Structures are given as structure tokens and as C-alpha cells.
Structure 1
Amino acid sequence: MEIAYTLERPVRLSLRLHIRGFTVLLGESGVGKTSLLKAVAGLLPARGEPFGGLPAERRPVGYLPQHFALFPHLRAWQNVAFPLVRWPRTQRRERALGYLAQMGIAELAERFPRELSGGQQQRVALARALAREPALLLLDEPTSALDMGTREEVFSGVLERLRALRIPTLAASHDPWLAQRADWIGVLTRGGLLQQGTPEEVFTRPASLEVARLVGFRNLFEASVGAVDGEWLWLDSPLGRLKALRPAWAQPGRRVWLGLRSEEVFTLEGEENRLRGRLLALRAQGVRWRGYLEVGGASLEFLLPRYRLEGLGLREGEEVEVRLEPRFLHLMPD
């Protein structure tokens, strides 16, 4: 499925986005993610396909708003039964229970929303969206009401069930954690839709500096292309002279941005791109350690799992040697 929509208000936005399985539209607040979802659902005036020109009640869309919008005076099954107006009253409860069962919470059918946790409320709201028998499911910030401690447990189960139902789903989110679990990602900024692709493509090969920052690149340096040799090139950078894979567009003398994920700094095997620097800081972050090296006047951030740190004997203020794997150095046009 492909979404092609143009909005004039409340934000000016025009984009064409592929929907492949569970798709995440990733972007910061204010770029138009929620407005796009509302436009596709028929809740905002817009031009586009699919469903263009249809009133909201006739669009085969299930829409889950950010705060779920459950009716507080109705039990869980009654909330789910609300869209089932074309079914006889005697069948609505049974069908509502079926949708709750798809979300794994049929036993909560008689509870009111106030008696449910945030994750349980989300599943009730999803069951209600599924009761519309949608051709497309829209989720607005589906992880925003889940704390980091329960996000993996709660939403991973929801995601499994959504994939099993095989309903194309578009989730608007600012959460990179969710985007990494998608089948397809679109990156939306104030400049429009800058990139779309698989999580591996977007998170390891961002198309621009703005996308790189959104997907978690912390090591970003201005550099220039030196010599070029087939599929490889050499960079003059603040870190020193480095070997990297050559993008097709890179020519000698061209200014570029060099990006490196913090998780991919400490690759010690091999002889290429070895650097020495002074360890400025080393801080525990849960089961990982975040550190900063001063290399040639530039600061290089790294992340290490706890088990790798134990054998390295790192101490603040001392010199440290690291190796940057040439395949992990990512270049973007300046």
C-alpha cells in the first residue's frame, strides 16, 4: 500500500509513503505526523489516496489516538462493541470478546478503563480499532503511554499480534526504539519526508545529517575525500586519515559528513583506522558504559556492553587505542 497525501492545515505537508507491514513514521514533535494520520482517517481536510473524498465513517481505517479515547462509563467489551453497529445487538458482545481475545485480554472484558493499566487500555483501544475491520490501521505515538521498563514486554506482544493479523499498520512516533522494530520506516522532518527504507538501511545509512541525528548518530564530523581507490576512499577528518567505503557520489576533494554510531567504535581487530586518544570520561548507563575519547582535538563517543569493558582495563585520563571498522564509517553529502 502507498499513501500519497497533501495537507495545507494545520501544517503544510505533502508526501508519498510506502506502507509495508508494520510501518513507523519517525519524526520530532510538530512536523505533521499526527496531522497526516488524521487526514488519512478523514478527520482533517486533505487531498490524497487512498480513501480520498470519503467521509470518515466510510473509510476502512482503524485509528488509535495517542490517549486511546476510551469511554470511561463503558466496560472494556462495550468500548470494543461501539463500532459494531451493523451487527445485531445479541451478537455484539460475542464479537467484542473475540477482538479482545485477539489482543490477549478477553479476561478483562468486564472492567472499566479506570481499572486497567496503560498497556491494557491500549489493547482495548486496539481491539476497538480492529472491530472496524480496517484495511489500514493508524497508531498515534503507541509507546508514549508506556514507561521504558514495560515498553518491551507490553508492546512487543501487541506487535506480534498485529503482524499475525497481517493488517497494514502505520504508526506515527518520535521513538527510535519503536522504529527499530518496524518492517519499514519513513523519516519526516520540517523539510518533508527525507528517507524511507528498512530499519537497517535508515539506522545504519541515513541519507542526510538531519536523519542521522534523528536515528541516534552521536559521532558526526566534517571531512573531505582524499584519494579514491575502487570501492574504497580515504578521508581527511578531525580524527585523522581514515579509510571508508566509497558512495557512488563521492569524488576527491568533496566535502562530506562522516557519521559513526557510538556502538561501533571499539572494533579492535585489524590494522586499518587505528586511533589513539585520551579517555576523557567513562560513565555507567545500566548494563552499558558510555565514554568519550579525545582524538586529534575531536571528541569521539563510544558505547560498550558491560562484559566487553571488563577485559579492556580502561581508566580516565589514560591513552586508549581504538579501531574504526571502515565498513561502519558512513558518509553523507555536505
Structure 2
Amino acid sequence: MISDPARISTGSARRSAAVTFAARLSFENITHSYHGKETIRDVSLTAEPGEVLCLLGPSGSGKTTLLRIAAGIEAQSSGRLLLDNREVAGPACFLPPERRGIGLMFQDFALFPHMSILDNVRFGLTALPSGEAVAEAMAALERVGLGHYARKFPHALSGGEQQRVALARALAPRPAVLLMDEPFSGLDSRLKDTIRADTLAILRDTRATAIVVTHDAEEAMRMADRIALLKDGRLVQVGTSDDLYRRPCDLFTAGFFSEINEFCGTARGGLVETPLGRAQAPDLADGTAVSIAVRLSGVNVLEEGGTIPARIVSRRFLGVVELLSLAVPGSDQVVRARIRADQLGQGLRDVTLRVNQQDILVFEKDLQTPYIGEREKLRS
């Protein structure tokens, strides 16, 4: 019989989280295979103590597999997993999930429908005496602002409330590292911003190291101290959101963080000719084949005063913005632009364009080396 939660709760106001002992989690040359197919390919990555690290990438890129390896649900084919420089999975040992001090929050929340909210949260506190487990579970519920729901059952809660219960359950044992697998994917789009902000505040408050899986670049940029972008099981680029947006290492990264127009070209005299003007590539030899990306947000559409004449082929009203398709001289390829709604008069066909140089990205096709405007901008 559990203690009466009403006697333990200190009220419905959200309380300060108990501080955890944040750990460093390191993936060292991790490879994973499934039925003979490599799903993770020699990934080395470290989440620093107290850091929010987002694993970002399309479906099938290996994000969730890395999370399952960290949790101990999957075993890697080779490589090591280190927690504060101590091997927890590798050639020398393999600690089971319950001995790692790593919490895992599932994508579907995985709440037990036949248990009260309080019992769901205290489920993993088996090492504590019953009274202490109830007290810790109530503290975790108060931490997410749901102490007054302790007696209720999961079906009585909204999706956002269930997400916070799952977070409370993951935090209750005070893990050194918390793993979150697409924790906001099941939420109504109107709730996501609020729940995401609340979750980030709680993670900062607990100071736990957190690794969050997402396929949404904007979500990663909102939450992460650093982002690790994966593709086909390989690590593509790691850095801050500013690094990956402003200094993408290849066309894939550029396209993942913003909508782009893509063109092909050839370097001549340190320049590349594009349908939207010249781009600078001073370190490329003449004749080098390149890929050019121009961000939609970097294409300014003006009634007059631009440097490139264009004709509007179609326009789509999206509320705050409009998406335009444009024809430009000398190119069979339609150019897309995203502009503020009502910036242009209705019925307007002929316009001019001006492109921000920092939004033209040039990549050598073989080496995929970035050249962002002038080379000095890359170093800044």
C-alpha cells in the first residue's frame, strides 16, 4: 500500500529539481550491424557533462540505434561506450541497462495504463524503501508541475501531460545521462513549443547530461548546446546550431538546415556563375565542378531595384510568408523564394531579385568543402 500522496506533496507549484551528477558519455568508434547491414559506421561522439546534445538526421540515419546502444538495449558490433571515461560497453565489459545510471524516455512515453501517475513515476525506484520511493516520485512530479495528478491514471491526461509524466519518471532516479527519443513527435503542433521549452528548463534545472533524438532541424536548434548530424549511419558534422547553419560541411547539411535552390557550376577565376549571380570560391582551381546552394530566405524579391530580372510563375500564400516560384533569364530551372506575405502586390508578374552573398553556398563536388561568400567569412 503506498503512502497518501496528498500528505507528501508540497502543493501543485513546480519545485526546483534535485541536481544530478552529470556525466560525460562517449561513443568511441561505434559500429553496429543488423542482419549483416551496417546501421552505424565508426561513430565517435561525446556528450559533455550537463550538455544537451541533439542527434539529428533523416529516418534510417542511425539516431535511435545510437540511443539504444547508450541505454544498453542494443550491443554495438565494435567500439566502446564510456561513461566518465569508464567502459560500460565494449570488448572488456557490457553493463546491463539497470547498472549504467542512464535514463531513457521512449518516443511513445510507455506509461503503464493500469498504474496511477505516482506509481508510474516510482516504478524504477526499486532500490529505495517504499516511503522514500514515493517521496522521490512525488518530488519528480512536482518538478514537472503535476503533483496534483498523482492519483490519476494516464488515460485522464492530455498528450502534453503524459509527456511530462514520462519525463518525471525518467528523472526520478536522477540519472547521470538522460536519453530522449523524439520526445515531442506525438504532440499537437500547438503544444510543442510550450512543452519543449518546459522540458528544456527542467533539463537545465536538473543539470543532467541529455541526448535528444530528433529529425527536425529547427527543434534541434531550439534545444541543443550542440548538434550531431547523421546520414546513413555516419556522423556528418558536429557543432553548434550557428556552426551547422552558417558553415555547413556539405550540400546535405546545407539542405537539412534550410530550404535551398540547388545549381551546378564550374569555378573560373575564383568565381562561380549561377542563375542568381556570381558566387566567390577563391581557393578552387579553374574547371572544378561545384554544387551551389542558395537559401530561399536569401532571395530578395523586389518590384524594382534588384540586379536580376525575374517573372513570377506561381505564388503560394502560407500565412506569415509566401512561397514564390520564379523564372530567371538563362536558366530552365525554377527559382524558389520565401518572402513576407503581402510584400508584393497581387497580380504582379515582373519583379527583380537581389541575393544575399552569405546565403550562396558553394561546395566542391568531390570534396564537399564549403565556401561561404568570401573565405574570410568561413573563418569568422
Question: Is TM (by shorter chain) over 0.5?
Answer: yes
CA distance in 2, matches of 1:98, 1:300: 55
Among candidates 302, 307, 311, match of residue 278 of structure 1: 311
The residue that corresponds to 1:170 in the other structure is: 211
Does residue 9 (structure 1) correspond to residue 69 (structure 2)? The answer is: no
The residue that corresponds to 2:278 in the other structure is: 242
Displacement of 1:277 in angstroms is: 0.9
Q: How is 1:210-229 mapped onto 2 (pairs within 5 angstroms)?
A: 210-228=252-270
Q: CA-to-partner distance for each residue in 1:191-222, whole Å, 9 max, x for gaps?
A: 51111111122133322222233323331111
The residue that corresponds to 1:265 in the other structure is: 299
Does residue 324 (structure 1) correspond to residue 355 (structure 2)? The answer is: yes
The residue that corresponds to 1:292 in the other structure is: 325
The residue that corresponds to 1:205 in the other structure is: 247
CA distance in 1, matches of 2:286, 2:345: 40
Displacement of 1:123 in angstroms is: 1.0
Does residue 18 (structure 1) correspond to residue 51 (structure 2)? The answer is: no
Among candidates 80, 94, 105, match of residue 48 of structure 1: 80
The residue that corresponds to 1:302 in the other structure is: 337
Matched positions, count: 319
Q: CA-to-partner distance for each residue in 1:21-79, whole Å, 9 max, x for gaps?
A: 22111112122211111111001112422222211110111101111111111111111
Among candidates 33, 38, 58, match of residue 28 of structure 1: 58
The residue that corresponds to 2:100 in the other structure is: 59
CA distance in 2, matches of 1:240, 1:147: 39
Distance 1:164 1:267, change over 3 A: farther
Task: Check conservation: 1:76, 1:108, Cα contact below 8 A.
Answer: yes
Task: Check conservation: 1:143, 1:178, Cα contact below 8 A.
Answer: no
CA distance in 2, matches of 1:76, 1:305: 45
Distance 1:110 1:286, change over 3 A: farther
Taking only the aligned residue pairs, the percentage that are identical comes to: 32
Amino acid at match of 1:3: F
Q: How is 1:70-81 mapped onto 2 (pairs within 5 angstroms)?
A: 70-81=111-122
Amino acid at match of 1:19: A
Displacement of 1:275 in angstroms is: 1.6
Amino acid at match of 2:132: Q
Among candidates 225, 229, 232, match of residue 183 of structure 1: 225
Single out whichever of 175-184 and 35-44 deviates more from structure 2: 175-184
Please list every run of 5 or more consecutive structure 1 residues that lacks an aligned counterpart in the other structure: 229-233
Displacement of 1:155 in angstroms is: 1.5
RMSD between superposed Cα atoms in Å: 2.1
The residue that corresponds to 2:13 in the other structure is: none
CA distance in 1, matches of 2:99, 2:231: 30
Task: Give me the TM-score of the superposition, normalised by structure 1.
Answer: 0.88
Task: Check conservation: 2:299, 2:354, Cα contact below 8 A.
Answer: yes
The residue that corresponds to 2:345 in the other structure is: 313
Distance 1:54 1:154, change over 3 A: same
Q: How is 1:124-139 mapped onto 2 (pairs within 5 angstroms)?
A: 124-139=165-180
